[in-house]
Amino acid sequence: MTDLDPPDTSTGHAAITPRALQVREPAPTDLASRERIFSIEDVTISYSGKAAVRDIAFPIYKNEITALIGPSGCGKTTLLRALNRMNDLIPTAKVEGKVFYHDIDLYDSAVDPVQVRKRIGMVFQKPNPFPKSIYDNIAFGPRVLGMKGDMDSIVESALRKGALWDEVKDRLKTNAFGMSGGQQQRLCIARALAIEPDVILMDEPCSALDPISTGRIEDLMDELRADYSIVIVTHNMQQAARVSDMTAFFTVELGQDDSRTGRVVEYDATEKIFTSPSDPRTEAYVTGKVG
Ligand SMILES: Nc1ncnc2c1ncn2[C@@H]1O[C@H](COP(=O)(O)OP(=O)(O)OP(=O)(O)O)[C@@H](O)[C@H]1O
Ligand SMILES: [Mg+2]
């Protein structure tokens, strides 16, 4: 846990100053030499013809944690969903531009969205275990996909990766709804890991959790970084600063017709975004002056 300034009661936000922030050290290599897992190129996503986010372009690097931050409605979830074609499930949604996963154009007609979601898993804001046993929650995906191997070992391995094994190994056959919220969220992360993805997308994964559970998930993310790439949406500035390597700050622009469109104001190493951002709007947001 970080040593933070007391809350700034004028805004209701915890005041964040560079001095008080625990910010990850930037990756040692320069940006160009890092391997990209996604390239987002001029992406505009609309619902019923109205752009929710416009002209988004930035790379996402392998084995790093990338945070998407910004005020409500700026399109963080919309962009996150575009990274594993979850927007396909929304009939009014349209994605323009290109999203490359490694060298694959994710929206190419030859790409099967089910295969995409196998490689790129998602964890949602509210833990959503199935109404099944802990064991069956984890085994569900591997069974559907016909994954080979001993199911007990697959389940144990996923629960270990989800930092949950020791807490649940004696109650695997009990209903997942009997777990605490924090345990349920780690179960959902373990369930996502069970199908051996490459990337995990997390949409405010800790917003329903207490600080202790949040800390456990942050520690888990830190461990997962070695084997996975993670993109996380969070409203918790301390969390973005603590866990992520790169941060994209989004804002909402108001059009003359009162339309609201999200754009990326600044994308950079997390340390830079939180200690010396280039744009005054980023600074105002990360220091809790707006948003
Ligand atoms: N399924 C949908 N159908 C129509 N409009 C949508 C849909 N989902 C999102 N939108 C609109 O797109 C815009 C961006 O929404 P989105 O949920 O991506 O924002 P967000 O940054 O994730 O917000 P929050 O921080 O509140 O979760 C909003 O104006 C929202 O109303
Ligand atoms: Mg959202």
Is 2 within the bounds of a domain? no
Domain range enclosing 17 = 7-25+33-286
Residues 80, 88: Cα–Cα separation, whole Å = 12
Is 155 within the bounds of a domain? yes
pTM given for the model: 0.89
> What phi, psi does 146 have (nearest 5°)?
65, 35
What is the 262 CA–ligand 1 centroid distance (Å)?
10
**116: Cα separation from own chain's centroid:** 16
Is 271 within the bounds of a domain? yes
State the pLDDT at residue 31: 58
- Structurally, the chain folds into a number of domains equal to 1
The yes-or-no verdict on residue 256 having pLDDT over 80 is: yes
What is the 177 CA–ligand 2 centroid distance (Å)?
24
Q: Is the CB of 92 under 6 A from ligand 1?
A: yes
Half-sphere exposure of 207 (CA within 13 A, CB side): 14
Among the bound ligands, name the one nearest to the CA of residue 73.
1
> What phi, psi does 143 have (nearest 5°)?
-70, -45
What is the 235 CA–ligand 2 centroid distance (Å)?
9
The yes-or-no verdict on residue 19 having pLDDT over 70 is: no
Residue 62's domain is classified under what CATH number? Answer: 3.40.50.300
Q: What is the mean pLDDT of the chain?
A: 89
What is the 233 CA–ligand 2 centroid distance (Å)?
7
Contacts of 194 (CB under 8 A, 6+ apart): 138, 139, 141, 142, 154, 155, 157, 158
Q: Is the CB of 97 under 6 A from ligand 1?
A: no
The preferred substitution site among 68, 69, 76, 260 for testing ligand 1, maximizing ligand atoms within 8 Å of CB, is 76
Ligand 2 ion: nearby residues, β-carbon < 5 Å: 77
What is the 36 CA–ligand 1 centroid distance (Å)?
26
Instruction: Determine what percent of the chain is predicted with pLDDT higher than 90.
Output: 81
Residue 230 vs residues 38, 199, 222, 257: alpha-carbon distances, Å: 11, 6, 10, 36
152-166: pLDDT as tens digits: 999 999 999 999 999
Is 55 within the bounds of a domain? yes
**Closest ligand 1 atom number to CA of residue 260:** 29
Is 291 within the bounds of a domain? no
What is the 202 CA–ligand 2 centroid distance (Å)?
10
Average pLDDT rounded to a whole number, residues 52-78: 97
131-187: pLDDT as tens digits: 999 999 999 999 999 999 999 999 999 999 999 999 999 999 999 999 999 999 999
State the pLDDT at residue 8: 39
Instruction: Determine what percent of the chain is predicted with pLDDT higher than 70.
Output: 89
- Work out the pLDDT band at 288, boundaries 50, 70, 90: confident
Is 1 within the bounds of a domain? no
Is 164 within the bounds of a domain? yes
**Closest ligand 1 atom number to CA of residue 262:** 14
Closest residue by Cα to atom 17, ligand 1, is: 77
Is 192 within the bounds of a domain? yes
